[in-house]
Amino acid sequence: MGCHLAADVGQGQVWGEFGVKVLTVVESTAMKTNRSIPAATVIPVLTYPDVRQAVAWLSAAFGFVERVRIGEDHRAQLGFGDGALIVADVRGDRRPPHTGEVTHSVMVRVDDARAHCERARAHGARILMEPSDFDYGERQYKAEDPAGHQWTFSETLADVTPEEWGGQSVGPK
């Protein structure tokens, strides 16, 4: 079963905290397959000044695997477990992040956050937060890649309900 995001249109719009429009997750029974796009439901597209250099670095430092190359330096599709990422070139209004500006981060689940952090560090990742254990059952570290994209890598330590650490379960189980 797949899902997609759908926004209410017209008078039924719902706005959440910080003026962010609330989207509804709509379940669908059959996601069509296409070998030209990753199978993941959510696929971040990150812009880098040099696609080939980014692919090499993300593979060596974070363990991504290239699955599709589009042109020599236009785009590449990368996989990690059952997740996916598209690396895009600078074009039109697409730009990598600016120093001192964080507009997004990508979270990736890993088996061993400490070992993954050491691998990333050995390849020159800027470690923003060392591996730390949290009440919600995760060990996480934060890193920045050479283009300025921020990443959080998360290792599950325990299955913890959101209510145990102050969260609230509100959606489908």
- Tell me the pLDDT band of 148, cut-offs 50, 70 and 90: very high
* pLDDT above 70 for 14: no
Q: Give the span between the Cα atoms of 24 and 20, in whole angstroms.
A: 13
* pLDDT above 80 for 107: yes
The model carries a pTM of 0.77
* pLDDT above 90 for 8: no
Q: Give the span between the Cα atoms of 63 and 40, in whole angstroms.
A: 17
- Tell me the pLDDT band of 173, cut-offs 50, 70 and 90: low
Confidence (pLDDT) at 48: 96
More confident residue, 110 or 15: 110
CB-based contacts of 60, cutoff 8 Å, min separation 6: 123
Q: Give the span between the Cα atoms of 52 and 47, in whole angstroms.
A: 12
CA 144 to chain centre: 13
* pLDDT above 50 for 4: no
* pLDDT above 90 for 9: no
pLDDT tens column, 39-98: 998 999 999 999 999 999 999 999 999 999 999 899 999 999 999 999 999 999 999 998
**Nearest partner of 121 among 96, 85, 155, 151, judged by Cα:** 151
Confidence (pLDDT) at 27: 54
Confidence (pLDDT) at 116: 98
Confidence (pLDDT) at 75: 96
**Nearest partner of 49 among 106, 8, 90, judged by Cα:** 90
Confidence (pLDDT) at 103: 85
Confidence (pLDDT) at 13: 44
Confidence (pLDDT) at 10: 42
